[in-house]
Amino acid sequence: MPHATISPPSTPLYVNDGLLGSEQVGYLNPSYPDEPLDDLRRRYERDGYLFLKSLLPREDVLKAREAYFTLLEPSGVLAPGTSPVDGIFDDRKDKLDFPGIGAGSTDANGRPRGGLFVDLALQAHAEPWYKDEFCKHSSLHSFIAKFTRWGDNTLGLTRSLLRNNTPHNKAIGVHYDQIFLRHGDDTSMTAWVPMGDVALDGGGLIYLENGHTLGRELEKGFYDRAKQTGLSEEEARNAFNKNMMSGGLLADGPKEFAEAHGRKWLVTPFEAGDVVLHTPYTIHASTINKDPKNVIRLGTDLRFVDSSRAYDTRWTNIYMFGDGV
């Protein structure tokens, strides 16, 4: 089903540089884990992503969401009288005291403002329920092992990005993941896992239409120019990163980026249990969380590699601020 044939959503969608126009928005195409693997592989190669419905048991995702917000509850982020699993933001508080990790609120992966909230959000990456259980969920690992044909060589990298997106705070800017994984082959796969239901305007990820082809073009164009100037592979890699925006972004504003490249942003509401797999060149960002019920969007980026190939070993440690990635 081509993206262009679907009517754009009527829900207003805001990004860092304003309201996306209706002509700039389409829908992600859903897929299902029980479809023939060859069909799913062809779709992934064609679109640069695979939006899998109900790959994980809903109850397992909600259990992890509840554990996360139970951990963060002492920071005062949750509305009084609400359940941790619901993750309802206390809108009497200053939103700037509750920034999302890795959402561009700081440069070079530094520590954002936020006191106890930020400390606990960082701590969550090392909690056993997260790093040993959720990140290694057998349903996800086994599907990727079969889908990629990596089999026993399938390795989930330890470093992950467990991001909360509190209402009305800054969204994630435009990027593709190979920017952060350049010390290894470009064969990795990212699994973006929403940890809870995410309304269409709830701050979920958005994917640029055919963004994987543009990502490859941007990367190749840079390396071609770098080689013409006589840079080594390592010098080219470092020079590329220096020419990105601070924090490794292609752009802070998805609206202007889509206009410049004549492509739509593909969106969808997500349900607990959904997973999006995408290539290392797939360009994506997020919307600003405008959920009318003040639901905090929680999601994690999990990276998978073929361990028989060169991969970025900087990703073998638990996420820390300023860890150089």
Segment 94-149, tens digit of pLDDT: 999 999 876 555 555 677 777 999 999 999 999 999 999 999 999 999 999 999 99
First to last CA, the chain: 37
pLDDT at 5: 46
Distance (Å, whole) CA 139 – CA 86: 24
Residue 1: pLDDT over 50: no
Dihedral class, residue 127 (left if φ above 0, else alpha if ψ from -120 to 50, else beta): beta
Which tokens sit at 87?
A: 């993750």
pLDDT in tens, 282-300: 999 999 999 999 999 999 9
Distance (Å, whole) CA 197 – CA 53: 12
Distance (Å, whole) CA 231 – CA 225: 9
By three-state DSSP, how is residue 181 classified?
coil
Angle made by CA atoms 319, 321, 325, in degrees to the nearest 5: 70
pLDDT in tens, 186-244: 999 999 999 999 999 999 999 999 999 999 999 888 777 777 887 777 776 666 655 55
Tokens 């942003």 belong to 265
97 alpha-carbon distance from chain centroid: 22
